[in-house]
């Protein structure tokens, strides 16, 4: 499927759906700054949105800027993280804030490669930051996106397997539109969280059902392939 058809059959219906049903009132979207997007993305790496919200709000009250976070003691950062688990995420946040102050003049880089080199920010998180905070056409590949793509394109094979993952990255990049990048990134995550769920997906209300191969063959339950 070429880029134009992908836009017509995948990206455009997804953006139209997001305009009506997508999540637009999450605390890190109001206002949507690079710092707030980054903190939310790290918190959301292993944790559900509803759990993250109160932690995010407390974190922002205590550390409203990168400078505040960089100047904090690690114990302060860890105590605010208490209950969220995966504490290396909090330590990496603290380290990154210091590096941004030292090497980037206190401003989170708008460059994918530079972000990817910072502690705790992998390829998908770096992509989520540049697309949502800087509106750049860089695709993400989190669990929700993998599920949507494997079903839509009928991609068999365990998604973490190198060959399959490479294919999913290619598809994720092909589906990424050149504009409305922040909305698109939120839209594909929302679709996976609200519609294209792991169990009992709500296919009848899905904007992609007309072209989704798993839906067409009634094989939604087979994707993504288990390990």
Sign of CA dihedral 170, 168, 172, 36: negative
41 noted as active-site residue? yes
Whole-angstrom CA distances from 88 to 61, 71, 99, 159 are: 21, 18, 16, 25
R_g of the chain, CA atoms, integer Å = 18
Of 185, 188, 153, which is closest to residue 168 (Cα–Cα)? 153
State the Cα–Cα distance between residues 118 and 116, nearest whole angstrom.
Answer: 6
Distances in whole angstroms, Cα of residue 210 to Cα of each of 103, 170, 203, 216: 48, 22, 10, 8
Query: Among 63, 119, 118, which Cα is nearest to 88's?
Result: 119
Among 41, 76, 160, 179, which one carries the catalytic annotation? 41
Q: How far apart are CA 116 and CA 24, in angstroms?
A: 26
Catalytic residues: 41
């Amino acid at each position: 499927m070429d880029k134009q058809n992908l836009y017509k059959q995948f990206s455009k219906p997804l953006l139209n759906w997001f305009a009506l049903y997508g999540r637009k009132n999450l605390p890190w979207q109001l206002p949507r700054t690079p710092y707030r997007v980054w903190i939310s993305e790290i918190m959301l790496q292993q944790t559900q949105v509803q759990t993250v919200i109160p932690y995010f709000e407390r974190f922002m009250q205590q550390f409203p800027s990168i400078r505040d976070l960089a100047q904090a003691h690690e114990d302060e950062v860890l105590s605010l993280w208490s209950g969220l688990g995966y504490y290396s995420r909090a330590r990496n946040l603290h380290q990154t804030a210091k590096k941004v102050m030292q090497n980037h003049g206190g401003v989170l880089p708008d460059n994918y490669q530079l972000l990817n080199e910072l502690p705790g920010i992998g390829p998908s998180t770096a992509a989520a930051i540049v697309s949502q905070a800087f509106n750049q056409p860089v695709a993400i590949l989190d669990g929700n996106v993998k599920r949507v793509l494997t079903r839509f394109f009928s991609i068999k094979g365990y998604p973490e397997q190198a060959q399959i993952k490479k294919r999913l990255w290619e598809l994720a990049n092909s589906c990424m539109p050149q504009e409305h990048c922040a909305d698109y990134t939120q839209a594909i995550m929302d679709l996976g969280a609200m519609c294209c769920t792991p169990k009992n997906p709500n296919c009848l209300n899905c904007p992609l059902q007309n072209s989704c191969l798993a839906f067409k063959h009634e094989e939604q339950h087979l994707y993504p392939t288990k390990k």
